Amino acid sequence: MREWLGGALPGNTTELFDPYVDSVYHMMEKAEELSDQLKSGSLRLALCHTDIHNWNLMTSGREFILIDWEGLKLAPVEADLMFFADQPYFHEFMTIYRQVHKGFQLDQQALRFYQLRRRLEDVWEFAEQLVFDCQTEQERAETVTAIEKELKGIKATKFD
């Protein structure tokens, strides 16, 4: 992504990214800084799904079932908890989580790292779709809308 943002943006993606390049670079730098801090830390690791969203959830009766485990990895639990952090039920979720996982304390730096990294990954995925996928006009318009939403979110992000 650095190479693309440094002037090698293919096709007509340049004008889409131009207003946001500095913000994206800043987010990448912050994610790298947090990554370095986390590497020197001692967070407890667990098996994490790393891609929890409504398309990867099924229900069976009163149970939720996670599917699509291709992103399975050993990571701090914040790699999964970040998918819930912006939800209105997060505090209630964490109360229940802490009842099951006694003494658990959410690591805010780890949570922030995974949130930033995911947003950057989403931008990259959308950019790849624009450049490499054969899309209809409608699909392309939807991808542009999605990437603009993510880029605006990055620009609005407070890092300190």
pLDDT at 3 (0 to 100): 81
Distances (CA, A) of 95 to 6, 78, 90, 100, 105: 44, 15, 9, 9, 11
**Is position 123 within any domain?**
yes
**Is position 14 within any domain?**
yes
**Is position 84 within any domain?**
no
pLDDT along the chain (160 residues), means of 10: 76 83 95 94 93 91 92 96 95 96 95 96 92 92 95 88
pLDDT at 5 (0 to 100): 80
**Is position 69 within any domain?**
no
**Is position 91 within any domain?**
no
**Is position 60 within any domain?**
no
pLDDT at 10 (0 to 100): 67
pLDDT at 54 (0 to 100): 86
Please answer whether residues 38 and 116 qualify as being in contact, where contact means their C-beta atoms are separated by less than 8 angstroms.
no
**Is position 49 within any domain?**
no
**Is position 96 within any domain?**
no
Dist CA 33 CA 25 (whole Å): 12
pLDDT at 92 (0 to 100): 97
Half-sphere CA count of 51, side-chain side, radius 13 A: 11
Total structural domains in the chain?
A: 1
pLDDT at 20 (0 to 100): 93
Full domain range(s) for residue 35 = 2-41+107-156
